[in-house]
Amino acid sequence: MQYTAEILKDKKHIHFIGIGGSGMYPLAQILHAKGYYLTGSDNNMTDTLQKVMDMGIPVTLGQKAENVKGADLIVYTAAIMADNPELIAARESGVPVLERKYLLGIVTQQFSNAICISGTHGKTTTTSMATQILMDGGADPTVVIGGKLNTIGGSGRIGHSENMVCESCEFSNTFLELAPDVAVVLNIDEDHMEFFKTLENLKHSFTQFCSMATKCIVYNGDDPNTIDAVKDLPQKKITFGWQDHNDYYPDNIQQLSKVHHRFDLMHQGKPLTTIDLLVPGKHNVLNAVAACICGLLAGVPAEKLNLGMKDFHGACRRFEVLYHNHDIVVADDYAHHPAEIQATLSAAKELGFTRIIAVHQPFTYSRTARLLDDFARVLQIADHVVLSEIMGSREKNTIGIYAKDLAEKIPGCVWYPTFDEMSDHVLSMVQPGDLVITMGCGDVNKCAHQIVEKLKKKFGD
């Protein structure tokens, strides 16, 4: 670990460049609650930035060199470009300058029970479930989530216990800066290969992450890549999965409605308690099992686990229903990898809609090219597919791949260069009984909101 909590010693004024980011907001909450004087800057006014300002933190709109004056520690997000004038001034100021992931690591060091939840898929949902379980079970956690949870009003929460729940992202080896007491691994699948290059490199990073756990490793005992990653580590291990060879597993799974599963949480062959899952998709049953283990490790009694699960109705952008009227449903989901898309669309199939219209924004050229056939295969679970152009994000299209290359592999698929054209196409074909679901980790949720607004205009509500 590159930095320790010593760097915060004697610091009084901490400045955040990009303080309105979803990853920066919970860190600002935590340090503000600990009594540090914070300032920040950002380029755009957002709901998250307003929440920062509502805490009484002075914020400057626009990033300028003078913003860093007076600070004795400066933190910036990875999204800030190297030529940003405020970041340049920070590095010339002579005070310590940290990227956000290092500060997150320092924060995790300050808790004696930091539960760090990792995995290629399901991190945000499981972290959100665990948060709800710990809150309702009296464990009073401090929380950092990669997405938003409505019950905490955002991506972070301040607790007054030694329990911390932290979503732990593998991209750029961010999770290797953390200090996990409990390391949770939901699954390991090929993703972010533009960074990791090979599956072996990816697994090695998860091995390093788990090797830092001071108390135990909680992992998916049915996932071959995860099993391989942790097999040689000496820490205490707790397994979960579908099969009864695991320490924890679900049994007697019942689907009581489109969005309600009930199951018995089993521990070493014996029923521990009954769990109600009120979000769609059988894959979320396994996420719930992992979240329940987190609750138990934070001291939540088994009989109180279901209090949190019954209060959990999903994280934002995880099968989030934006419109339900005239027998048409519009939902938005963060799914951006073939395994996630398959899970989301398979869950949608269980819900009994007449048709599923998938609106997908491919993300990064390298991932789209590498997994092109997998994307084509899983998107065909839907009845109709509408694609946007590929969102390059941090990449340039040196590969020469385009949305039309994916569209050609999916029967009946169409693609458009703008969200306006995509939403018009959806509006022209949507019928009562349909589910329209937007999917992607970029800004395709904007298309979802356009579809909703056009439906409201069409039907007058």
| 460 marked ligand binding residue | no
Other residues' Cβ atoms within 10 Å of the Cβ of residue 93: 17
Alpha carbon 386 to its chain centroid, in Å, reads 24
| 46 marked ligand binding residue | no
Nearest to 359 by CA among 280, 283, 421: 421
**Residue 208 vs residues 179, 204, 364: alpha-carbon distances, Å:** 12, 6, 26
| 121 marked ligand binding residue | yes
Break the chain down into helix, strand, coil percent, rounded to 5: 40, 25, 35
| 258 marked ligand binding residue | no
DSSP state of 151: G
| 124 marked ligand binding residue | yes
Whether the CB-CB separation of 26 and 157 falls below 8 Å is answered with yes
Alpha carbon 319 to its chain centroid, in Å, reads 12
What SS3 class is residue 329?
strand
| 70 marked ligand binding residue | no
Alpha carbon 446 to its chain centroid, in Å, reads 18
Query: Phi-psi bin for 327: left (phi > 0), alpha (psi -120 to 50), beta?
Result: left
| 122 marked ligand binding residue | yes
What SS3 class is residue 332?
strand
Nearest to 264 by CA among 238, 244, 294: 244
Rg (CA), the chain: 22
- Torsions phi, psi for 111 (to 5 deg): -120, 140
Residues annotated in a binding site for ATP = 119-125
Residues annotated in a binding site = 119-125
